[in-house]
Amino acid sequence: MKQPACLPLFIKQTPKGERNHNLFQAINHLRRFNNKISTEQLTKQAILLNNHLNKPLQEKEIKTITEHVTKTHYKSTCKKFNEYCKKCNLGSNKQNYNQKNNYWKTIRKDNTIIKKLTNGVKLYPWDIEDTNNLDETQKELILELREQKGINPIIDTVLKLRGIKIGDEALKEFLGYKQEGYLKEGD
């Protein structure tokens, strides 16, 4: 049976009021890596995970939680367990969740670093404003790229705080005004 190393660590940190919920999340995540596992085997593993809780649940509660997990195929991702992630051979990329590589492909819409792009958003290195998750060399490269594009992160931040649109938002607004005839050709 495959079990990610993050699950016992995740369970150990569970506060008393969230034991059922966190055990459900852990059992569901365990099921993700063991698709053809029987309910009995899953219950046995759940009991072992339950032993990691500060105040373990009763066996009857564990069986009920396991039954709920097996009734529906719930999705589970490593994101919930990223604080407890150790490099394992079970994750989709077989790397530590927080491992930094290809940082130009790992940006949220709000320019913070994440694992994968979502919603088909296309961003470039010079779009990164939050460089807290990058090492010093990567930070320098980002600042150089931003300077080449004529982007000053300090000015951009001040403009955003004042509610002034910048970048693509400003361009869309400008093109909208131009198409509606608010601007003359010389402007």
Cβ atoms of 78 and 85 closer than 8 Å:
yes
Same domain? 110 vs 78: no
Q: Tens digits of per-residue pLDDT, 68-112? A: 998 888 888 777 877 777 666 565 444 444 444 444 444 444 544
Distance set, CA 55 to CA 3, 52, 96, 132 (Å):
22, 8, 29, 37
Tokens linked to 40: 């009995």
Same domain? 64 vs 27: yes
Give the domain extent around 123.
Answer: 103-179
Cβ atoms of 117 and 107 closer than 8 Å:
yes
* Measured distance CA(91)–CA(6) in Å, rounded: 11
Question: Quick one: three-class SS letters along 75-116?
Answer: CCCHHHHHHHCCCCCCCCCCCCCCCCCCHHHCECCCCCECCC
**High-pLDDT (> 70) share of the chain, %:** 56
Task: Report how many domains make up the chain.
Answer: 2
Per-residue pLDDT at 24 exceeds 50: yes
* Measured distance CA(28)–CA(42) in Å, rounded: 9
- Domain of 61: which CATH number? 1.10.340
* Residue 72 within any structural domain of the chain: yes
User: pTM to 2 decimals?
Assistant: 0.50
Same domain? 71 vs 139: no
Q: Tens digits of per-residue pLDDT, 129-151? A: 556 666 787 777 777 766 666 66
Per-residue pLDDT at 64 exceeds 90: yes
Please provide the average confidence, as pLDDT, over all residues in the chain.
72
Average pLDDT on 37-46 reads: 91
* Residue 175 within any structural domain of the chain: yes
* Residue 167 within any structural domain of the chain: yes
**Coil/strand/helix, residue 118:** coil
Average pLDDT on 160-173 reads: 72
* Measured distance CA(108)–CA(116) in Å, rounded: 8
